[in-house]
Amino acid sequence: MKKFIFFIITIFILKLNLFCDIGETSWWIFKRPQPAKPKPLAIYGDLSGVFSNPAVCSTTAKKEFLFISELSGFVGDSFYSVLYNHPVSFGNLSFGIVYYDSGKETLYYMDGDEEKERTVSLQKDILGFICYGRKIKDDMFLGANLKFANSNIAELKSANAIAFDLGLIYLLKEKIKISFALNNVGASTKFLEEKESLPLSLYLAGGYSFVFPKNQNLNLAVEIPYFFKENRVVLGFGLEYMIKMFSVNFGYKFSDVETEGSMQFGFGISFIKNLNLNYTFVPAKYLSSSHKLSFSWKF
């Protein structure tokens, strides 16, 4: 009885902290990983684009290491991703780990007539994946992800999930990219009495790159993901201006979910030719704003 009461209280607090919306599926860790740049811009070779389309890993011919950190000051949660891409004779292989911790919380419950307390991590999620990508033609790239995840609620209940993604990137002429992917096809074990469905989605994005004199580029991108369980489309766009070693970016997402950050902006610096640092600020209407920082090295 004690554990049951404790778990119900935990779920209530967890829902309150995360502001989950009616109709929104669980297994948030499958949707949580995001690039430091606005998500639509990941089509331009950022390895974190494998979260949206696994074909991204086949668009580079170099080894790449990528680290992403995201912090929300008020809530106290933290999010980290580590990715590595390795070219092989038959294509590209990428590996990665994603970790999320919503922070500590002291919960109170009754054990008979005695009130007790316990400090726990409200939610801890971890996701690992392996990605394979291959360049089919000069203008076509294919990729697939295999993902494993574990979610632990209040150190009492946990579940596991397995899923795969399939993706295609097509170059239409020289400056236009089209991205298409089917994400999170899979299944999970039970948290309580029911299994939670994965956030199955179709992802479509396109981008156009303008090239100007003196090492200047302007990248424009649009994404149109469709989430089956929530039965909604979330249109988003991003733009990035690059001049020599500096870049600035801006993104906006037309979401009807008030707890989702709709706008983000940031900058990037290339210290050496293949060493990059990116920062993005995501203002929040509720809870706290997010700060994303990524470091990548191609070698």
What percent of the chain is modeled with pLDDT above 70?
85
Which element (helix H / strand E) includes 18? helix 2-18
Tell me the pLDDT band of 289, cut-offs 50, 70 and 90: confident
| C-beta separation of 251 from 39 below 8 A | yes
Which element (helix H / strand E) includes 169? strand 157-172
> d(Cα 43, Cα 52) in Å, to the nearest integer?
9
Q: Among all chains, which residue has been given the structure tokens 């580029």? A: 217
Closest C-alpha to 166, from 200, 139, 127: 200
Q: What is the mean pLDDT of residues 267-296?
A: 83
Read off the amino acid at residue 288: S
Which element (helix H / strand E) includes 202? strand 201-212
Model confidence pLDDT, tens digit, residues 160-196: 999 999 999 999 877 899 999 999 999 998 876 677 7
How confident is the model at residue 287, as a pLDDT?
61
CA distances from 45 to 9, 33, 39, 98 (A): 44, 16, 12, 19
How confident is the model at residue 21, as a pLDDT?
45
Tell me the pLDDT band of 294, cut-offs 50, 70 and 90: very high
Model confidence pLDDT, tens digit, residues 88-121: 999 999 999 999 988 777 777 777 778 888 788 7
Closest C-alpha to 262, from 243, 241, 289: 289
Model confidence pLDDT, tens digit, residues 35-71: 778 888 877 767 888 999 999 999 888 899 999 998 7
Residue 25 has pLDDT above 50, yes or no: no
What predicted TM-score, i.e. pTM, was given to this entire model? 0.84
Mean of all residue pLDDT scores within the chain: 84
| Domains of the chain with CATH codes | 2-298 (2.40.160.40)
Residue 5 has pLDDT above 50, yes or no: no
